[in-house]
């Protein structure tokens, strides 16, 4: 495979479209910033060939759905032209990311071989390229995320890939044919018992069928003989009738004339009956003319009255509507006034409630002051009852300054201020009581005014009489319309009434003409009857011969019908006897022992061609050879340190061996054998790439097909500069062993880019080749 040209239009990376021709350089580097479209460029190949993107996944989880996430334009397209197996393979895929549809087209050596159907494209592409998707992704195209790499495949996927390498597809068609034959043969043998019983049941009825067939064949011979005799009799009768008619031609003419005249009379009688019926109907309509005219007049009068009543209804309805509107407007004004009064009442109530609350607080204060005044008076009264009051002791007079009387003295001093505060509060309470009473009077006045206004609200009871009158008018209209409906039957004949006189005259004239013609034909028929009566003997002779002929024909029909029935039964019995003979032959041809022998051979062949047969043996035998190729490629980096091997069996916990597939790596330095995924990041990357390159080399060496181009997307991404150079040496070794002429790779390492023969930069939706002085720049 050699890539000749890549086109990409409408994708996120290349909205305006690009056309890239890689050229013939051995090493081609693709560089650019992250997200510039390098991977999209290389993924265009797998998208075109297989409709998948190795480095993306879709929201739905379906692999083929990921392709739509790479494009924006409804009319997106990709094209890849490559030389594969000596053929120019041109793939064009039309992609609609909006509708999520794609149509692939395949051209081989310039000729179209598909018409945009996915299944047809897949079959034809594999037929012309022999390049399955798993082989492409595992060996030829190292995707950035390693999708499709043999190490990342499950057991079934790995075996399928190796099957493609070893050419197992050649066994598929043979296995399918033999497996199909085996299933059919097993089904045949399983149904032999049932078929045997059915065939014996059919054969058991042979004797009865033969006896019945003999009876029916005998009856057929007899009836054939009687039919032959009857044919001769019919011929004789027809001859005699012809001779009789020729000898009495005038009688025959009279009979034919009588027959024709009778037919004419019958036609006239039918015509007279039809016209008479029409005449009768029109005469009945004429008799109702006065009634119909009266109905027309009454209908006109009623319609006028209805129109007048409808006008009255309009006027009455207008009056009711006007009065209703007037009442509603009047009531609306009153309600607004009532609502305003209610608002005033609510404001007065709130003010009254506020004053009541304040009065209650003041009442509590008054009660508290009264209590304090009483307590102070009680304490002050002690001064009148203390014996030492005014007594002089040691030149000092005892008075209110005595410590014993201090509390009484203080209480006496507070009495005056407390009484003053008490009196002020009482005055304030009186004022608030007056205000509360004022608000009560105001609310009472508002209630009285509201009641007065509410009594003025108007009801619609005053319109009752008008509404009753309106309903009466409507009822009167309904009665008149019902009366008009009663005239419908009479009025529907009004259109015919204007023509009734003319029709009556016309029908009477036609009846008269037809009656006169019938009278003439009746006279003619009477004359013919007299002439025929005169020659009655000749007529009777002809009638006898005609009756004899009719009886013979009837007997022939009955015998022919019986003969047809016998032929049907004979055919059924012959078919049954034929089935019996076939059943006998089938019983003889059963050959069950031969079938069982053939079945045994088919089972052995199917087992040999199955995945557990020759394929497993070939896979086991080829494993070391593939491993050797991989290790030879890998030795360019690590010498003989790492040895890759394929494991096709595994020991179970019970000590038995079962079929398996895995890839192991043996490290000579540590003496450890482990899976590739268990190695360090750099070692794992190089070993995986060595396996991928080894598989590609093995495919070319075994098939001899020229796969000229390898594609690598950041295969050196996790490598140090030193390991990256080792990787390039391994890539060179693989190109030599496999005869690859070109490798296209993406790398961000300047030291690797410098090894390329040509460098192309991707960015801003374009791709361009860099000059020699631009090579090695860090992108």
- In sequence order, the β-bridge partners of residue 766 are 763
Most confidently modeled of 9-23, 247-261, 638-652, 659-673?
A: 9-23
Which segments of the chain belong to CATH 1.10.287.1490?
Answer: 310-474
17 close to 9: Cβ distance less than 8 angstroms: yes
624 close to 647: Cβ distance less than 8 angstroms: no
Residue 251: pLDDT over 60: yes
Residue 697 Rama label (left phi>0; alpha psi -120 to 50; beta)? alpha
Provide the token pair at 75: 């009319």
**pLDDT score at 17:** 94
Confidence band of 779 (pLDDT split at 50, 70, 90):
very low
2-167+705-774 maps to which CATH number? Answer: 3.40.50.300
**pLDDT score at 587:** 62
705 close to 739: Cβ distance less than 8 angstroms: no
- The dihedral through the CA atoms of 469, 473, 479, 482 has a sign that is negative
pLDDT tens for residues 477-519?
Answer: 899 888 888 888 777 877 788 888 888 899 999 999 989 998 9
**CA separation for the pair 399, 726 (Å, rounded):** 124
Residue 77: pLDDT over 90: yes
51 close to 93: Cβ distance less than 8 angstroms: yes
Of the listed ranges 506-520, 611-625, 675-689, 696-710, the least confidently predicted one is: 611-625
Which segments of the chain belong to CATH 3.40.50.300?
Answer: 2-167+705-774
- H helix or E strand, kind and range, residue 726: helix 721-738
Note the residue count of the chain. 779
pLDDT tens for residues 439-467?
Answer: 889 889 988 998 988 888 888 887 888 88
* Burial (Cβ within 10 Å: 0-12, 13-18, ≥19) of residue 662: middle
- In sequence order, the β-bridge partners of residue 31 are 761
The listed CATH number (2.102.10.10, 3.40.630.30, 1.10.287.1490, 3.30.110.70) that belongs to domain 310-474: 1.10.287.1490
Confidence band of 170 (pLDDT split at 50, 70, 90):
low
3-state DSSP assignment of residue 750: helix
Residue in the block written with tokens 């179970």: 652
Torsion angle of the four alpha carbons 221, 226, 229, 230, in this order, in degrees rounded to the nearest 10 = -140
Beta-carbon contacts of 568 under 8 Å, excluding residues fewer than 6 positions away, are none
Residue in the block written with tokens 């109530």: 349
Residue in the block written with tokens 């005869």: 739
* Burial (Cβ within 10 Å: 0-12, 13-18, ≥19) of residue 201: exposed
Of the listed ranges 309-323, 461-475, 631-645, 694-708, the least confidently predicted one is: 694-708
- Nearest CA among 69, 72, 22 for reference residue 42: 22
Confidence band of 375 (pLDDT split at 50, 70, 90):
confident
230 close to 556: Cβ distance less than 8 angstroms: yes
């Amino acid at each position: 495979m050699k890539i000749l040209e890549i086109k990409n239009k409408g994708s996120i990376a290349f909205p305006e479209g690009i056309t890239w021709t890689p050229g013939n350089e051995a090493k081609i580097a693709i560089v650019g910033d992250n997200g510039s479209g390098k991977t999209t460029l290389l993924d265009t190949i797998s998208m075109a060939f297989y409709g998948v993107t190795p480095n993306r996944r879709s929201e739905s989880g379906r692999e083929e759905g990921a392709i739509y996430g790479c494009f924006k334009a409804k009319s997106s397209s990709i094209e890849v032209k490559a030389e594969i197996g000596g053929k120019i393979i041109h793939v064009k895929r039309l992609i609609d990311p909006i509708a999520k549809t794609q149509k692939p087209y395949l051209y081989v050596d310039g000729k179209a071989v598909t018409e945009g159907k996915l299944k047809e494209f897949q079959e034809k592409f594999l037929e012309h390229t022999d390049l399955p998707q798993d082989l492409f992704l595992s060996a030829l195209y190292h995707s950035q995320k390693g999708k499709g790499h043999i190490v990342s495949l499950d057991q079934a996927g790995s075996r399928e890939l190796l099957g493609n390498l070893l050419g197992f597809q050649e066994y598929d068609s043979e296995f399918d044919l033999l497996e199909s034959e085996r299933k059919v043969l097993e089904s045949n043998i399983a149904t032999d018992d049932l078929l045997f019983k059915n065939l014996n049941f059919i054969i058991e009825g042979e004797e009865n069928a033969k006896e019945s067939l003999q009876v029916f064949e005998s009856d057929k011979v007899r009836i054939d003989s009687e039919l032959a005799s009857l044919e001769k009799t019919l011929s004789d009768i027809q001859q005699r009738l012809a001779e009789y008619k020729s000898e009495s031609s005038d009688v025959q003419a009279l009979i034919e004339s009588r027959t024709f005249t009778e037919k004419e009379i019958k036609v006239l009688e039918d015509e007279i009956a039809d016209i008479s019926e029409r005449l009768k109907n029109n005469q009945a309509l004429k008799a109702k003319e006065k009634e119909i005219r009266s109905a027309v007049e009454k209908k006109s009068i009623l319609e006028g009255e209805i129109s007048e009543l409808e006008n009255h209804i309009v006027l009455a309805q207008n009056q009711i509507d006007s009065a209703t509107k007037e009442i509603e407007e009047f009531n609306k004004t009153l309600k607004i006034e009532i609502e305003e009064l209610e608002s005033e009442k609510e404001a007065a109530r709130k003010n009254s409630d506020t004053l009541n609350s304040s009065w209650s607080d003041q009442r509590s204060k008054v009660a508290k002051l009264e209590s304090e005044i009483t307590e102070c008076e009680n304490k002050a009264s002690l001064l009148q009852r203390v014996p030492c009051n005014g007594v002089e002791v040691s030149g000092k007079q005892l008075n209110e300054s005595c410590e014993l009387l201090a509390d009484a003295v203080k209480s006496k001093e507070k009495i005056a201020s407390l009484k003053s505060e008490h009196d002020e509060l009482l005055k304030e309470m009186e004022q608030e009581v007056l205000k509360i009473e004022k608000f009560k009077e105001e609310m009472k006045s508002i209630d009285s005014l509201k009641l007065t206004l509410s009594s003025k609200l108007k009801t619609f009871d005053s319109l009752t009489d008008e509404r009753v009158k309106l309903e009466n008018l409507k009822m009167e209209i309904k009665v008149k319309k019902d009366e008009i409906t009663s005239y419908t039957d009479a009025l529907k004949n009004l259109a015919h009434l204007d023509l009734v006189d003319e029709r009556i005259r016309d029908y009477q004239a036609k009846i008269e003409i037809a009656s006169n013609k019938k009278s003439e034909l009746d006279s003619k028929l009477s004359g013919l009857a007299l002439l025929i009566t005169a020659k009655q003997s000749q007529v009777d002779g002809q009638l006898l011969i005609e009756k004899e002929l009719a009886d013979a024909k009837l007997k022939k029909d009955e015998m022919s019908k019986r003969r047809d029935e016998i032929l049907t039964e004979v055919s059924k019995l012959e078919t049954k006897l034929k089935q019996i003979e076939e059943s006998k032959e089938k019983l003889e041809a059963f050959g069950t022992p031969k079938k069982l022998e053939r079945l045994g051979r088919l089972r052995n062949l199917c087992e040999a061609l199955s995945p557990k047969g020759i394929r497993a043996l070939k896979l086991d035998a080829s494993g070391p050879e593939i491993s050797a190729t991989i290790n030879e490629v890998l030795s360019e980096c690590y010498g003989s340190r790492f040895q890759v091997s394929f494991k096709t069996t595994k020991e179970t916990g019970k000590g038995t061996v079962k079929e398996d597939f895995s890839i192991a790596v043996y490290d000579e330095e540590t003496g450890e054998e482990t899976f590739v995924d268990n190695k360090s990041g750099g070692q794992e990357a190089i070993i995986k790439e060595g396996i991928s390159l080894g598989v590609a080399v093995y495919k070319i060496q075994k098939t001899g097909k020229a796969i000229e181009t390898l594609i690598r997307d950041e295969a050196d991404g996790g490598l140090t500069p030193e390991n990256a150079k080792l990787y390039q040496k391994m890539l060179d070794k693989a190109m030599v062993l496999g005869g690859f002429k070109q490798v296209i790779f993406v790398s961000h390492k300047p030291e690797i880019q410098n090894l390329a023969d040509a460098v192309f930069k991707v960015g801003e939706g374009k791709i361009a080749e860099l000059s020699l002085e631009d090579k090695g720049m860090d992108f």
